[in-house]
Structure 1
Amino acid sequence: MKKLKLLQDMHEAGVVAVLRGNSPDEVVRMAEKAIEGGILVIEITMTVPFACDAIRTLAMKYQSRDASGDNYAIIGAGTVLDAETARAALLAGAEFVVSPSLDEPTVRLCNRYRAPVLPGAMTVKEITAALELGVDVVKLFPGNLYSPSIIPTLRGPLPQANIMPTGGVGLENLKDWVKAGAFAVGIGSDLTKEAVASGDFDNITRKAKAYMEAYRQAKV
């Protein structure tokens, strides 16, 4: 049941912050600012040095939901290339795993531990292969190679597929992706690049609020 509840919560949250940085402290700070702005699904990429330290810190802080639901966020791991990395991330507290491509051992490991796994895919063949392995959500990556109309196109032959575009999703096209039927959307550097360049990490909070408002408007 926990896996199903996580998937439901991720779908309802709608926006996933994909965070990359130069250190665990930097991405933890990014995550805190994004959560402050209302983005409640955080993906820490395993390209961050000592990424598991960041996942552990965030999991300990945010994965203890109180009675009112405050101080809660879903923390996961991204850019997971193999099962060994997935296992390390899960042990550190990650609640979901995202991969840039479909790796069968990674999917099987996540299924073993009932952890949502979102592998990257680009074609009907890849999405079908993911579904056959029991994948619940496929990451359309890189999303900037497509227009939002790709989702209903793919779901013509595969109506059972849940698709999350990542890469190329911004404030200007988020509504189009949501209206096209995206399970959720992944937001990457657009959320953080200005903050990193200026040193004003409060900009992440402002951007996060803008993304969540755009998402709410798209769902109307």
Structure 2
Amino acid sequence: MTVHETWQQLADHALVPVVVLDDPAAALPLGQALVDGGLPVAEVTLRTPEALAGIRELAGYGGLLVGAGTVLTPQQVDLAVEAGARYVVSPGLSRAVVERCQAIGVPVLPGAVTATEVQAAVELGLEAVKFFPAATSGGPAAVSALAAPFAGMRFVPTGGIDAGNVADYLALPAVLAVGGSWMVPRAAIRAGDFARVRELTSQAVAATRGR
């Protein structure tokens, strides 16, 4: 799958569940809950010791587009891809991370919230960036302002987004998709309450249908 095809798949789903996994045993039931809820996407953040094992489990679940989030170094790029991640997400713009992803042909979505950072992403040949943290960096108004001078860039706002404001972001033509954790609450995953995850996911999908 090409970089463009990966981003198109995210755009088709409009939402990217940002997952924190504390136990890899929760990965498969989580994947089932996401699929059953109509959202076969997961960005597993490398914030826990079990994240890579969780990515490995989810990557083996058919039909899921699995990415690795909070990737900070080229070494983490290699580990995430080895585990089965099909795209990489960083909180900021690291040239080393971007270039490592490009060298091995893995789509990368670095964080960028200023014109300088977005321009740096353009110079690196990127077509999409993660707008993070979205809520504290100006929200939809900031995304709209940045989209004006960077007409070819697409944004994936993440951070402080929930069911109450997701529509404001998805209404912007420059927004590729929106990342969030409200449909995959860490407490519900820890408790094994995957019925709750499925319900929240279904509600999120229904709310964004026809964006």
Q: TM-score, normalised by structure 2?
A: 0.91
The answer for the alignment partner of 2:22 in structure 1 is 22
* Distance in 2, Cα, partners of 1:197 & 1:149: 35
Letter of the structure 1 residue corresponding to residue 172 of structure 2: A
Percent identity of the aligned residues?
Answer: 33
Q: Relative to 1, partners in 2 of residues 1:196 and 1:184: Cα closer, same or farther, differing over 3 Å?
A: same
Alignment partner of 1:179 out of 164, 171, 178? 171
Aligned-pair CA distance for 1:52: 1.7
* Distance in 2, Cα, partners of 1:195 & 1:14: 23
1:129 is paired with a residue whose SS is helix
Letter of the structure 2 residue corresponding to residue 44 of structure 1: V
What pairs up with 1:34-53 in 2 under 5 angstroms? 34-53=34-53
2:147 maps to 1:155: yes
* Distance in 2, Cα, partners of 1:198 & 1:43: 20
1:55 is paired with a residue whose SS is helix
Letter of the structure 2 residue corresponding to residue 91 of structure 1: E
Q: Relative to 1, partners in 2 of residues 1:25 and 1:198: Cα closer, same or farther, differing over 3 Å?
A: closer
The answer for the alignment partner of 1:66 in structure 2 is none
Q: TM-score, normalised by structure 1?
A: 0.88
Aligned-pair CA distance for 1:214: 1.1
Q: Relative to 1, partners in 2 of residues 1:49 and 1:197: Cα closer, same or farther, differing over 3 Å?
A: closer
The answer for the alignment partner of 1:216 in structure 2 is 209
Aligned-pair CA distance for 1:38: 1.3
* Distance in 1, Cα, partners of 2:48 & 2:102: 25
Q: Relative to 1, partners in 2 of residues 1:83 and 1:122: Cα closer, same or farther, differing over 3 Å?
A: same
Instruction: Name stretches of at least 5 consecutive residues in structure 2 with no aligned partner.
Output: none
* Distance in 2, Cα, partners of 1:27 & 1:100: 23
* Distance in 2, Cα, partners of 1:28 & 1:46: 17
Alignment partner of 2:162 out of 170, 187, 196? 170
1:121 is paired with a residue whose SS is coil
2:66 maps to 1:80: no
2:61 is paired with a residue whose SS is helix
Mapped contact 2:21–2:44 kept (Cα < 8 A): no
* Distance in 2, Cα, partners of 1:39 & 1:139: 19
Instruction: Name stretches of at least 5 consecutive residues in structure 1 with no aligned partner.
Output: 63-71
* Distance in 2, Cα, partners of 1:201 & 1:73: 16
Mapped contact 1:18–1:42 kept (Cα < 8 A): yes
* Distance in 2, Cα, partners of 1:190 & 1:57: 20
Aligned-pair CA distance for 1:196: 4.5
The answer for the alignment partner of 1:117 in structure 2 is 108
2:126 maps to 1:126: no
Q: Over aligned residue pairs, what C-alpha RMSD do you find?
A: 1.8
Q: Relative to 1, partners in 2 of residues 1:193 and 1:94: Cα closer, same or farther, differing over 3 Å?
A: closer
User: What is the aligned residue count?
Assistant: 209
